[in-house]
Amino acid sequence: MRHLMIPLIFLFLASCGWHLPQGTTSGLIKKEDSFADPAKISQLKLTNALQYHQALEHLDPVDLASLSAARTLISNCVSDSLTRDSMFVDFNGFLNNLAAIYLENNEMVANQLANSPAPETVNTLKTSFAANGLLLYSREGSFSLEPQTKFLLQQFGNVLSGAYCEFLSIGCREQEAEFEKEGKIQVSADSLVNRILTWENFIQRNPGFISIRIAKENYAHYLSQFLAGADNSRAFDPETNHLNDSLKVTFESFVAKNPESSSGQLVKAYLEMLKSNDFIYCDKVDSFLLEKVYH
């Protein structure tokens, strides 16, 4: 019966009036592209991630109703939490793709947001998007969408593995406080340190986590920002290239408080490398980050 499931899915999708669209992963969606009815898709009872991946391929990537159908498929999955974790990875990709291309493919919404829209209009759209797990942001007069991690945790917290729920919980806390704006770090040094140690502990406790690559990327990003700073909040004085004195103290405190952690040992090695060059920026800084942080 298991071997018959995938063909049966295709028969079901055909009954929804679907034919395979081309070029739907990014950019403008062609008007002639056709997709399956999301209401019918959501009726499927899937048992593995491959079936889910195939179902997502038949949903309109710029239709908010597709998100509802995609969420329902995971919630109705009759398999274990690890299978649903695999499905969620695909869902997350689908959600991020929709967030990236929705506004350029929805002329009505794009027009509403054009030319300094009224606050009432923006708030109405924000409410509509929030109901589908999307945050509407405005930066420098330009609008964009971003998945809301808190919504994802609320929707899937009872069907995903403990590791994935923890992963999303960390993301929820981080999304509440903007980390960087216009090249300047917005959080305190203590908050940045907490993010580094949180991801280090998560990675150590969940080496087989399905999205471990993303967790490692988050860890590396925060660690690199701690060690070298951002474009407009650099660790080294732009005129003297000397390590900021306050940051040197922060590094030393971090090492003293976390001597056994991987991060503590790495920061200790970083300090020793800087000391050998009188705490002046040099090519060794970039080499250290590439070899020790982004390896």
Asked if residue 17 has pLDDT above 70, the reply is no
> Quick one: average pLDDT of 267-281?
96
pLDDT at 233: 87
More confident residue, 21 or 152: 152
Query: Please, which pLDDT band fits residue 249 given cuts at 50, 70 and 90?
Result: very high
Contact 76, 155 (CB under 8 A): no
Contact 258, 197 (CB under 8 A): yes
> Quick one: average pLDDT of 148-157?
97
The burial class, CB within 10 Å (0-12 / 13-18 / 19+), for 242 is: middle
What b/e string do you get for 156-179 counting C-beta neighbours within 10 Å, with b at 16 or more? beebbbebbbbbbebbbebeeeeb
pLDDT at 33: 54
Asked if residue 6 has pLDDT above 90, the reply is no
Tens-place pLDDT, residues 198-221: 999 999 999 999 999 999 999 999
- List own/partner pairs for 29-34 with CB under 8 A and 24 or more apart: 29/60, 29/61, 29/62, 29/101, 29/105, 33/60
pLDDT at 181: 86
Query: Please, which pLDDT band fits residue 4 given cuts at 50, 70 and 90?
Result: very low
Tens-place pLDDT, residues 23-42: 344 454 444 457 989 999 99
Tens-place pLDDT, residues 62-75: 999 999 999 999 99
Tens-place pLDDT, residues 124-133: 999 999 999 9
Model pTM score: 0.86
